Amino acid sequence: MKESHFQEQSAQPAAVRKGHMVTIYDIARAAGVAKSTVANVLSGKGKVSEATRQRVLYYARELGYRPNLLARNLSQHRTFTVALILPTIANPFYPEIMEAIESILRQRDYQTLFCNTHGDFALGRQQMERLMSRWVDGYIIMGSSMDIADITHYFRQGVPIVLCDWQENESPVGIPQVTVDFYRAGQLAAEHLLALGHRHIAVIVDEPQQHLRLEGFRTTLLQAGLELPPARIALGDSSLESGYAAARQLLRPDQGLTSPTAIFATNDWMALGAMELVLDQGLRVPGDISIIGLDDIVVSAHLRPPLTTIAIPKTRLAQEATELLMAQIEKKIEEQGSVLSEAHEGTDGAAQHEEETAPLRLVPPYLVVRQSTAAPASS
């Protein structure tokens, strides 16, 4: 009896309420069925007769129904959202990786929420807290955007987290991670310069974050019988400006060292800065000084001269990171299911994770030779 009543009214109220949200309840009323039936139709879950199914679908379209994700997420404890936390966006490397991760995530029907911590740990924690409150399903944390202590804290609580392109000095305890074989990257850079015949080599590095790159580089030089004296190491903070400043320092004829004939900057952004300084000094690249970077950001290929660099396969990085994260999210969802029935207490659900050795995927870097490196001028 009620059905007919509502049926009659259906067309009217719909039009009137236009502009405000249409809920499944509205559809239910219009179609003369129960809320849950509508839900079933919409989710394709429970069994519904084709007739009512069509009717519900009809009214849904008719009324301009749009599901309310907040409500859905609230009741499902799941948001299909992943946060990507990065230290900065000023270094083009990050936008590039953002793009890669975002599109992969989108294919999996996940929203990506970008967070820029500006390298500020306090801000990072603050943002993280906020995200936690929003029930983001998982986190991909990059570079040195957050304090590893904070990250570990969250991970211990069972929050799905993947470290991506993590800086090599801090050893994350049991947190899944995908990163580049930075030691190898350092080796590649050194090998390239050595092969060209360079003997006076300097490096610009963001210590201690990029220690491995430096070590790979230094070790390779050593094996070739070359020391890397402190005066040949300049510190940067990964920014272009710092690369510029560091290069100036390297070229200042201090402590009687001959000027270097080649510079390895541990990221392209600093390499650009270094190159700028060298050119500003009236020197030529690679004529007087060779420069090699690391990252292979897009602009590097379009500079004058185009930058030789150790490339990081960004898409690969993005894929692996997503995979690792998805695995954790799925696992957590499952566990939640069982927690409802069995009442495990004492051990946090996450504790078991920690025991297992966390997956670590190492992506191999590779050399891209362009025109910023060449054999040193015969002195």
Neighbours of 4 (CB within 10 A): 9
Question: Which residue lies nearer to DNA by CB, 35 or 232?
Answer: 35
- Among the listed ranges 51-59, 94-102, 206-214, 256-264, the one in contact with DNA (CB under 7 A) is 51-59
Q: Which two tokens stand for residue 308?
A: 């030789």
CA angle, corner 181, sides to 351 and 247, nearest 5? 120
CA-to-CA distance for 312 and 270, rounded, in angstroms? 16
Q: Does 42 bind a copy of itself (CB under 8 A)?
A: no
Q: Are strands 138-142 and 81-86 parallel, antiparallel or unpaired?
A: parallel
Question: Which residue lies nearer to a copy of itself by CB, 262 or 303?
Answer: 303
- Among the listed ranges 11-19, 40-48, 243-251, 270-278, the one in contact with DNA (CB under 7 A) is 40-48
Which 304-333 positions form the footprint of a copy of itself (CB under 8 A)?
304
Question: Comparing C-alpha atoms, which of 27, 32, 30, 22 is closest to residue 42?
Answer: 27
* DSSP per-residue string spanning 287-343: TT-EEEEEE--GGGGGSSSPPEEEE--HHHHHHHHHHHHHHHHHHHHHHHHHHHHS-
Q: Does 76 bind DNA (CB under 7 A)?
A: yes
Q: Does 132 bind a copy of itself (CB under 8 A)?
A: yes
168, 213 Cβ separation under 8 angstroms:
yes
Question: Which residue lies nearer to DNA by CB, 75 or 357?
Answer: 75
Shortest approach of DNA to residue 91 CB, angstroms? 37
197, 223 Cβ separation under 8 angstroms:
no
The phi, psi pair for 68, rounded to 5°, reads -95, 105
Shortest approach of a copy of itself to residue 211 CB, angstroms? 27
CA angle, corner 191, sides to 256 and 375, nearest 5? 60
Of 276, 288, 323, 354, the one binding a copy of itself by CB under 8 A: 276
Question: Which residue lies nearer to DNA by CB, 47 or 302?
Answer: 47
**Angular region, 296: left φ>0, alpha ψ -120 to 50, beta rest:** left
8 binds, among DNA, a copy of itself, none (CB under 5 to 8 A by kind): none
Q: Does 25 bind a copy of itself (CB under 8 A)?
A: no
Q: Are strands 262-265 and 290-295 parallel, antiparallel or unpaired?
A: parallel
32, 9 Cβ separation under 8 angstroms:
no
Residue 196 amino acid letter: L
Question: Which residue lies nearer to a copy of itself by CB, 59 or 154?
Answer: 154
Which 168-187 positions form the footprint of DNA (CB under 7 A)?
none
Of 10, 40, 112, 261, the one binding a copy of itself by CB under 8 A: 112
Shortest approach of a copy of itself to residue 124 CB, angstroms? 13
Question: Which residue lies nearer to a copy of itself by CB, 4 or 347?
Answer: 347
Q: Does 60 bind a copy of itself (CB under 8 A)?
A: no
Q: Does 16 bind a copy of itself (CB under 8 A)?
A: yes
Q: Does 23 bind DNA (CB under 7 A)?
A: yes
CA-to-CA distance for 238 and 374, rounded, in angstroms? 24
Binding residues (CB under 7 A) for DNA: these are 3, 21, 23-25, 32-37, 39-40, 42-43, 45-49, 51-53, 65, 67-68, 71-72, 74-77
Residues that bind a copy of itself (CB under 8 A): 16, 18-21, 66-71, 73-74, 79, 89-90, 92, 94-95, 98-99, 102, 111-114, 116, 129-130, 132-135, 157-158, 240, 272-273, 276, 279, 298-299, 302-304, 339, 345, 348-350
